Structure 1
Amino acid sequence: MKRFDLRHLKNDFCPRLKAILDNELEKGEVGIFLFEVLDFDNVQKSADLVKQSGNTLLNSLRFNEVDWTIMVRKETTKVAE
């Protein structure tokens, strides 16, 4: 299990989330991602990105007033484009 803090990226965290899912997690490994919710559309964007990448969203919850946490299990060895 690895933890990734993406809060410093503000609304532009999706490219980094995708890069981590593609390259930094092993198949079967769980990643915990923390990002800032300036726009609640980002919660849906993160869930869509996880689904499109062929991985499993295990949990998605509000961490505090401005931060959101998702847990993702890496399912694929190569991302489906």
Structure 2
Amino acid sequence: MANIRPTLQIEIDPRRPVPEICAVISATLPFHPPGQEEAILNGVKEAIEKQLGAIKKGAENHAKPVHGPSGSGADQ
């Protein structure tokens, strides 16, 4: 029996990330049964929130003072 799988070949312009990512999402949704759009978009939302948390955590770590080798808080 034939193995048929729809695929998308996508090229995006990284200089325009928001509209390009939105276009990818819009192009992907029709390949799924009706009613799954909300679950897919919620999954994307969770992934975005996770990435934002990692970015925020990284920014907080960069704001912490650098400690010397003795751990006294004094910079070298």
Greater share of strand: 1
TM-score of the aligned structures, taking structure 1 as reference length: 0.28
Greater length-normalized contact order (CA 8 Å, ≥ 6 residues apart): 1
Q: If you compute each CA radius of gyration, which structure gives the higher value, 1 or 2?
A: 2
Greater share of helix: 2
